[in-house]
Amino acid sequence: MSRRRQQTRDRLLQDRAAALKASADPAVRPLPPPSPRLQSPSDQGLTIEQAAYRIRVQIFELSRSVGNALAAKELEQSTDVGALASSAARVSVYADQMIATVTDRYKPALDCREGCSYCCRKPGVLASVPELLRILHHIDSNFDPIARAALVQRAQAYALQMQGRDVNAPTKETVPCPLLVNERCSVYKVRPLVCRGYNSTSVEACRTAHDTGKGLVPIFALNKDVSDGATVGLEQQVTVLGWNDAMLDLGRSLNIALSASISDIEDATQTSGSLFAPSENKTWADELLTAVTKRAREFGIDSQTAPPPPAGSHPQ
Ligand code: SF4
């Protein structure tokens, strides 16, 4: 077993032990309300920021452990391509439920509306290999030859537009996801986790970011924490199995997969650096986990301690 797989497996075992003691651990209990008489304004600000980030870490870690457990359950019997796609389906059901629970609880003022597609018009949307397989299966089952041929053209256009460029570099250009049709996602039911969690509280900021390639889009972070955590959990299970755990630039990987043979795609699900190499991002999940852990430490939060799931939010 490779060192990285061993480390991931060890970490998952630690997570499970931590989850067992989580409900009794003061580290995951809500902070007491700040006392205005005992704290300066800056201390109060820090306390509020810490409390907010603690919730974010809890949601992220919960989603990571649930995403991992669901993927492990799906893949315990079989690790063929179909089971990999099913693992993505299971995790996305959880993510949808959790995002609905969190949104219902906090009622963020989201500006996202059907038919608004600024976020689908920038490059670099990432999907895991199980998610790409699920999308490909959906395309095979639901797209007629005309729709498929149009998709192939859009994927080629995307790859051509991004040729030799860093997909993460800001750009003023519109670079539509090949799956965007008439301002709507043509694979909405099977879209990647990152698309499920992405959101905006200001369509004006989306427009500015799209038109100028500059500016930050304010988001409701907890929804993204759900999808980020679930994606990392799914990816960690793929790592433990020793399959291709790279994240893929969706547009480029689609362009590759739509003209590849089934056997080549199957090979690429097991080995990184082959068919999907031009679209692979091998560090996203590890970097995200490291960043969350580091920020949590700065706030004095034990991010290794998975919290108990909120009532009614645990998947079936
Ligand atoms: S997969 Fe769908 S939701 Fe995601 S970027 Fe593409 S069109 Fe948009």
Encode pLDDT of 193-236 as tens digits. Answer: 999 999 999 999 999 999 999 999 999 999 999 999 999 999 99
The answer as to whether 116 is a domain residue is yes
Question: What's the pLDDT band for 37 if we cut at 50, 70, 90?
Answer: low
Q: Mean pLDDT lowest for which of 10-24, 152-166, 187-201? A: 10-24
Residue 25 has pLDDT above 80, yes or no: no
Residue 20 has pLDDT above 90, yes or no: no
Rounded Cα gap, residues 99 and 110, in angstroms:
13
Residue 17 has pLDDT above 70, yes or no: no
Question: What's the pLDDT band for 21 if we cut at 50, 70, 90?
Answer: very low
Q: What is the mean pLDDT of the chain?
A: 88
Q: Is the CB of 180 under 6 A from ligand 1?
A: yes
Rounded Cα gap, residues 135 and 141, in angstroms:
10
The answer as to whether 149 is a domain residue is yes
What are the beta bridge partners of residue 281?
247
Rounded Cα gap, residues 193 and 132, in angstroms:
11
Residue 297 has pLDDT above 50, yes or no: yes
> How far does the centroid of ligand 1 lie from the alpha carbon of residue 194, in Å?
9
**What letter does residue 268 receive in the DSSP assignment?**
H
Q: Is the CB of 191 under 6 A from ligand 1?
A: yes
Rounded Cα gap, residues 99 and 91, in angstroms:
12
At residue 253's C-alpha, the angle toward residues 252 and 256, to 5°, is 90
Q: Is the CB of 193 under 6 A from ligand 1?
A: no
Q: How many CA atoms lie within 13 A of 45 on its CB side?
A: 3
The answer as to whether 14 is a domain residue is no
The answer as to whether 310 is a domain residue is no
**What are the b/e assignments for 101-138, b being 16+ CB within 10 Å?**
bbbeeeeeeebbeeeebbbbebbbbbbbbbbbbbbbbb
The answer as to whether 139 is a domain residue is yes
| Count of structural domains, the chain | 1
Higher pLDDT, 314 or 32: 32
Cα dihedral 181, 244, 229, 14 in deg (nearest 10): 170
Q: Is the CB of 285 under 6 A from ligand 1?
A: no
At residue 145's C-alpha, the angle toward residues 139 and 151, to 5°, is 55
Q: Which domain holds residue 53?
A: 39-298
**Which of 177, 183, 199 for a ligand 1 pocket mutation test, highest count of atoms within 8 Å of Cβ?**
177
Q: What length does the chain have? A: 316
Reference 130, options 20, 300, 259, 247; nearest CA is 247
Q: What is the pLDDT of residue 179?
A: 98
The answer as to whether 57 is a domain residue is yes
Q: What is the pLDDT of residue 310?
A: 42
Nearest CA to ligand 1 atom 4: 195
Q: What element of type H or E holds 126?
A: strand 126-128
Q: Is the CB of 12 under 6 A from ligand 1?
A: no
The answer as to whether 79 is a domain residue is yes
The answer as to whether 305 is a domain residue is no
Are 238 and 130 a contacting pair, CB within 8 Å? yes
As a whole-number percent, the residues of the chain with pLDDT over 90 amount to: 74
Task: Tokens 């099977």: give the residue.
Answer: 190
Question: What's the pLDDT band for 39 if we cut at 50, 70, 90?
Answer: low
Q: Which ligand 1 atom lies nearest to the CA of residue 194?
A: 4
